[in-house]
Amino acid sequence: MQPASPLTNADAIVAWEAGADRVGDFDDEGDGSRRWLLTPTLFALLGDPAGKRILDAGCGQGYLSRLLARRGAQVTGAEPAAPWYAAAVTREEADPLGIAYLQADLSTLCAAHPQMSGAFDAIVANMVLMDIADYEAAIRSCAVALRPGGVFVCTLLHPCFEESGAAWLRKGGIETREYLQPYTRAQGIGYLFHRPLSAYINTLLDAGFTLQRMVEPQLSAEGAAAFGNDRDCHVPSFVALRLTNR
């Protein structure tokens, strides 16, 4: 159990709502990191989503929900921050794909919405858990929402190498000055809640998940040229996990 942050989930949600002007930073493929690194990794770990009931946990403006729906999944997207939720709903109304969106805090999802319990064949939490103060409750909610034998795929900013890609361009390397102790810092949108990787793994195991696969996505030379930064050819920005529940 890691020491609690003085910030709450409500604080984190307010901070994300203050970033409403950044909703437009994400297009139909998210952004560069998602296009070149996260999305291919997510789909490789998830497998064919066609016909599966999938929860996009912390869906933001819904880019991943739409990608899943276009591949035949029955998608529910959960997002607590009002401007991001509204953007997802507005896009679904303009271009219907059958996605159901729910404005909800992941940490209290099943308590507030009991119909979510055991409702999903798979859950994806894409770049979400490190933005949540009460990540342990969020993980437990995912365990409850997933049917027995279901698949949980999550991606995180790699807690070992959190320094930005911009720093790599300046220095040609990554510095880590504090890793083992949890801390909180402001980021471009919202807050980053740093925890060591073991905190996430042990919380997932305690919630009843079994770890099947861990991937540290590596950028191709083609991706580096398009992205304008070769950091992820050498040092991973992200880590992705595939788990199943009992």
Angle at 164 between CA 159 and CA 170, to 5 degrees: 140
**Strand 146-157 and strand 238-245: pairing?**
antiparallel
9-245 adopts what CATH topology? Rossmann fold (3.40.50)
Instruction: State residue 5's pLDDT score.
Output: 61
pLDDT tens for the chain, 246 residues long, are 444 468 999 999 999 999 999 998 888 888 889 999 999 999 999 999 999 999 999 999 999 999 999 999 999 999 999 999 999 999 999 999 999 999 999 999 999 999 999 999 999 999 999 999 999 999 999 999 999 999 999 999 999 999 999 999 999 999 999 999 999 999 999 999 999 999 999 999 999 999 999 999 999 999 899 889 999 999 999 999 999 998
Give the closest residue to 156 by CA, choosing from 198, 186, 188: 198
Residues 6+ positions from 94 with CB-CB distance below 8 Å: none
User: Could you identify the residue written with the tokens 């920005």?
Assistant: 237
Task: Yes or no: say if 223 and 131 are a contact pair by the CB < 8 Å rule.
Answer: no
Instruction: State residue 2's pLDDT score.
Output: 45
Task: Yes or no: say if 52 and 74 are a contact pair by the CB < 8 Å rule.
Answer: yes
Give the closest residue to 9 by CA, choosing from 112, 128, 134: 134
Instruction: State residue 3's pLDDT score.
Output: 47
Instruction: State residue 29's pLDDT score.
Output: 85
